[in-house]
Structure 1
Amino acid sequence: MNTLPKLRTRSLAKLRELKPYLDDINNRVERHSYIKDDPVRFMHMYTDKKDMEIAGFLAATMAWGRRDIVIAKADELLKRMDYSPYEFVSNYNQAEFSRFNNFRHRTFKPIDIHGLLLALQQIYTEFRDFEAFWNRCYRIGENQGRHFLAVFHEEFFRRSSDLAGRTVKHVSNPEKGSPCKRLYMYLRWTIRDGSPVDPGIWSFIKPSELMIPFDVHVARQARRYGLLSRRTNDWKSVNELTQTLIQLDPLDPARYDYALFGIGALDYRLPKRFILNRT
């Protein structure tokens, strides 16, 4: 049976040699001008924390595929909510379900939006805001020895009073091996402060605790430049790549999402001498 050759990885010294090049690309990508072409724009539409939380969560949850299509669909969804996400969630009931008739985005259907909104409504009834709920999941995870994203998945859907079984698949769970790209993208938006792109409205964890949002662009470039040895796009790969990036910036490893995405999708380039693997 044919097996793929093992991927080469960089030594610490070689990582340090690569760092200034990644930093340069990162600084060119992570600018205010990035916002208009990315789903993070929906958090920047609002100044109220609760509106920002909900708009960002819905946009991140639907962030599959091309960014322009994701933006168009997230905008359509918020339009159906009169661009007032917190007010809409607070007052949502079965009579409002018809607002989502014919809404589709990839595998998202109206019944999925319905289940998500009911869970959010219950959360805002129990907690002062969405961050407080996330903080509760984090503390439960510490006590149970589980990752807080797995607890989030469990606790979030437990609060939906009318949940289709299919809807739970739209929020990832690391205990199922998922890389949880969309959840960590949302957390990058909400946790990283001082960024020209990420609003940084939460503080229940530190930026140093963030994992890299792991999409196909990030995965491909991480392997190409020797930052990742695993060939599968799973939770273990997210952990391995994040541990590599911690060596470059222990306080903010997820910032390199911008550099790796920029190389993979925005046509930025590293010198060819840094290529270790032809993937």
Structure 2
Amino acid sequence: MRTSELKDFLDAKVEQYNNPRFIETDPIQIPHLFTKKEDIEIAGFLTATIAWGNRKSIINNAKKLMTMLDNSPYEFVLHHSNKDLERLLPFVHRTFNGDDAIQFIKSLNHIYTKYKGLEDVFSKHCTPDSVQTSISHFKSIFFEIDHLPRTQKHISDPLKNSAAKRINMFLRWMVRPNNTGVDLGIWDKISTAQLSCPLDVHSGNVARKLGILKRKQNDAKALLELDSGLRAFDSNDPVKYDFALFGLGVFEDF
């Protein structure tokens, strides 16, 4: 397939999947439950953090977590008591447990009280065409308070060769405009041109079959290669092709 044909094919798939029907089976439905900016971004961040495995299980467990936060995640993060945190102990999603959830609430409190919130932290160290260095700095800030060493594994570091799929997905949710009712578009300090595709087994396999990606591992080097290919199709919004790659992989078994 020629480059122009491939772009047309992917653009058509973006249009096919980037619509409100996508939300019905996707974890992005969780931040869509909220209207306040801070509630949306905290709900989105926590949901993206546990977004691996069966999508139905991800959605159900994210809903349980929001209930544990009184369906007011920002209020809970700012004003929780130690007794409130104990309510989170029974939570579990795969290897993310109640102790991890409590640590996340404490670290989020640190970010909102000392650094003015998630958007300010993520936008501070971006380069003109990448957020990957910023993700690494975010992890450092997130864990600069006393923390459980085991919880560090739940936030990836691109500077240690991770593709950081879940954080890149979260950033797509926050940054891309809400033009089609899917992404939330509540942040304006990061541009869509800086975003990277959430690289997972589905998007990676489809990208390889289409010849956009050659590297076999889904790591930071593969993400850089994929980003380069997608920016050739649309330098202003390369991450929109996540809808095409993911949709082809999950819904069409491409």
- Shorter-chain TM-score tier: over 0.9
User: What is the aligned counterpart of 1:245 among 226, 230, 249?
Assistant: 230
In 2, the alpha carbon distance for the partners of 1:39 and 1:27 equals 19
In 2, the alpha carbon distance for the partners of 1:240 and 1:71 equals 30
In 1, the alpha carbon distance for the partners of 2:81 and 2:160 equals 32
How far 1:33 sits from its partner (Å)?
Answer: 1.4
The superposition leaves residues 79-116 of structure 1 with CA deviations (integer Å, 9 ceiling, x where unpaired) of 11111101111112322222123211000111101111
1:231 aligns with 2:216: yes
- For 1:30, the equivalent position in structure 2 comes to 18
In 1, the alpha carbon distance for the partners of 2:93 and 2:157 equals 21
How far 1:126 sits from its partner (Å)?
Answer: 1.9
CA contact (8 A) 1:190 1:202 kept: yes
In 1, the alpha carbon distance for the partners of 2:33 and 2:215 equals 38
> Matched residues, percent identical?
38
CA contact (8 A) 1:51 1:84 kept: yes
DSSP-derived class of the 1:40 partner: helix
CA contact (8 A) 2:174 2:183 kept: yes
Greater RCO (CA < 8 Å, at least 6 residues apart): 1
In 2, the alpha carbon distance for the partners of 1:93 and 1:167 equals 20
How far 1:135 sits from its partner (Å)?
Answer: 2.5
CA contact (8 A) 2:89 2:102 kept: no
In 2, the alpha carbon distance for the partners of 1:168 and 1:261 equals 27
User: What is the aligned counterpart of 1:179 among 135, 148, 163?
Assistant: 163
DSSP-derived class of the 2:46 partner: helix
Deviates more, 1:55-64 or 1:31-40: 31-40
In 2, the alpha carbon distance for the partners of 1:183 and 1:128 equals 19
1:257 aligns with 2:215: no
1:149 aligns with 2:135: yes
In 2, the alpha carbon distance for the partners of 1:31 and 1:268 equals 20
- For 1:126, the equivalent position in structure 2 comes to 114
Structure 2 counterparts to residues 162-201 of structure 1, below 5 A: 163-193=147-177, 194-201=179-186
CA contact (8 A) 1:25 1:268 kept: no
Equivalent AA in structure 2 for residue 167 of structure 1: T
With the length of structure 1 as denominator, give the TM-score of the two structures.
0.86
- For 1:54, the equivalent position in structure 2 comes to 42
- For 2:84, the equivalent position in structure 1 comes to 96
The superposition leaves residues 235-274 of structure 1 with CA deviations (integer Å, 9 ceiling, x where unpaired) of 00001011000011111000000001111001176xxxxx
| Contiguous gaps of at least 5 residues in structure 1 | 1-9, 270-279
CA contact (8 A) 2:19 2:181 kept: yes
1:218 aligns with 2:206: no
Q: CA RMSD in A?
A: 1.6
